[in-house]
Amino acid sequence: MTAPATDQPVDLTVPAVAVEDLAVRFGTESGVVTALEGVDLTIEEGSFLSILGPSGCGKSTLLRVVADLVPPAEGRVEVLGQTPTRSRKDRALGFVFQDAGLLAWRTALENVEIPLKVGKVEPREARDPRELLALVGLAGREDAYPHELSGGMRQRVSIARALVTQPRVLLMDEPFGALDEITRDALNDELLRIWQATGTTVLFVTHSIPESVYLAQRVLVLRANPGRVAEVVDIDLPYPRELTLRETPEFMSYTARMRQILETC
């Protein structure tokens, strides 16, 4: 497995994310629902993990626990050696949702700048918003409003916004799920390029088997009812990756294996 090329120092002694015996439960009108049960997971800093599983298996819930948006009922969760709350307050986490969530009355550049203004981030602690827009392929579109951008372009802006505070962990909850296949493929390649350029740890939720294999160094497959780990599969395919990789026997072997695991979930 080839690690990302990056100038950022990576401390391999402390995992980016450590989860031990995690359980998450929600109260509903009909009773308590267990979303996750007995989840154990360790993610190295600078790595790329895809999270795959059937609907209702807790993929998004796991991401939200790491992001300090959902509290665990049981177990231990650490992000960069500290609590999710501390990591969130330290701006060590970035989150990209399926919907870009841009403010319609702000330009692309102004949308990227929002975390800096809301969080009162010092310039030395942030990345330059214009440079980030260039990084995601939107140089020259800084003054465009969301209605002037395609769906794929809006997601690029949301990725730049998530990166502006220089997070060490980037959480992505099906960010390309609503896009057409060609745009999705293009953004997969953009994401891999950004990951290798920044060295940010990425946790990427998807329903797509090919997407999970194409992007990640490892794929976490979750079972449903309740959500729990079915298997963690190492993807031993070299980087940089190109779309032609999807036509190779090695790639197809991984996707077939994922499908077999999912059939038991």
What CATH number has the domain bearing residue 264?
3.40.50.300
pTM reported for the whole predicted model: 0.91
For 14, residues 6+ apart whose C-beta sits below 8 A from its C-beta are 45, 80, 81
Domain count for the chain, please give it. 2
pLDDT at 2: 45
Give, in order, the Cα–Cα distances in Å from 246 to each of 237, 250, 255: 11, 9, 9
- Same domain for 109 and 221: no
- Same domain for 182 and 148: no
Higher pLDDT, 228 or 122: 228
Give the integer Cα–Cα distance in Å for 56 and 87. 27
Q: What is the CA radius of gyration of the chain?
A: 18
Task: Report DSSP state, residue 2.
Answer: P
Give the integer Cα–Cα distance in Å for 101 and 93. 17
Q: Which residue has the tokens 């979303």?
A: 35
- Domain that includes residue 157, residue range: 93-166
**pLDDT digit string, tens, across residues 58-69:** 999 999 999 999
pLDDT mean over 254-259: 96
- Same domain for 208 and 195: yes
User: How deeply is 81 buried, as exposed, middle or buried, from its count of CB atoms within 10 A (0-12, 13-18, 19+)?
Assistant: middle
- Same domain for 85 and 49: yes
**Structural domain ending residue among the three candidates 124, 148, 166:** 166
What are the two backbone dihedrals, phi and then psi, of residue 25, each rounded to the nearest 5 degrees? Answer: -130, 145
- Same domain for 214 and 155: no
**Structural domain ending residue among the three candidates 144, 166, 188:** 166
- Mean pLDDT lowest for which of 2-6, 42-46, 67-71, 96-100? 2-6
Q: How confident is the model at residue 123 (pLDDT cuts 50, 70, 90)?
A: low
pLDDT at 157: 96
Residue 72: name the closest of 221, 227, 222 by CA: 227
Contact by Cβ (8 Å): 109, 45: no
**Structural domain ending residue among the three candidates 118, 142, 166:** 166
**pLDDT digit string, tens, across residues 138-186:** 999 999 999 999 999 999 999 999 999 999 999 999 999 888 999 999 9
Q: Dihedral sign, CA of 156, 158, 164, 169? A: negative
Give, in order, the Cα–Cα distances in Å from 142 to each of 26, 50, 134, 241: 41, 30, 9, 29
For 166, residues 6+ apart whose C-beta sits below 8 A from its C-beta are 91, 125, 126, 127
- Same domain for 177 and 72: yes
- Same domain for 256 and 156: no
